[in-house]
Amino acid sequence: MTTHFKHHVFFCLNKRPDGESCCQDKGAEAAFTHMKAQVKEQSLSGIGKTRINRAGCLDRCGEGPVMVVYPEAVWYTFVDHEDIDEIIESHLVNGKVVKRLLID
């Protein structure tokens, strides 16, 4: 079976109105914007390549910020743009999971 995208990345960008911990409060929006720009700049986006998408709550708030990469269903957390760049280079380009950023 052929998939439409080689990788489909979903970023939790949920904002909890009650003040509880959420990915939006932990820099997820900036990370999403950075990853989307880097993937486009490196010509990694588009059909047969990578798609970066916004998502609502992925129900892992305590481990956030979080993203999930499909079709492998690999869950990552991240701190800064360097982490995002490492995920792009290692996982999206070279097919190697970034173990230090994995969420069980």
Domain that holds residue 56: 7-101
Has residue 38 been placed in a domain?
yes
pTM attached to this predicted model: 0.92
The pLDDT value recorded for residue 30 is 95
Cβ–Cβ < 8 Å for 97, 57: no
Tell me the pLDDT tens digit for each residue of 9-21: 999 998 888 777 7
Rg, the chain, Cα only: 13
Mean pLDDT value across residues 84-93:
98
| CB-CB neighbours of 23 under 10 Å | 27
Q: Which residue is it, tokens 């499909």?
A: 70
Per the structure, how many domains does the chain have? 1
Residues counted in the chain: 104
Q: What's the order of all strands across the beta sheet hosting 7-12?
A: 50-55, 7-12, 66-70, 74-77
Label residue 95 by pLDDT band (50, 70, 90). very high
Has residue 53 been placed in a domain?
yes
CATH of the domain at 52: 3.40.30.10
The pLDDT value recorded for residue 79 is 92
Has residue 68 been placed in a domain?
yes
Q: What is the DSSP letter of 59?
A: S
Tell me the pLDDT tens digit for each residue of 36-86: 999 999 999 999 999 999 998 888 878 879 999 999 999 999 999 999 999
Geometric angle at alpha carbon 10, from 102 and 20, rounded to 5°: 75
Has residue 1 been placed in a domain?
no
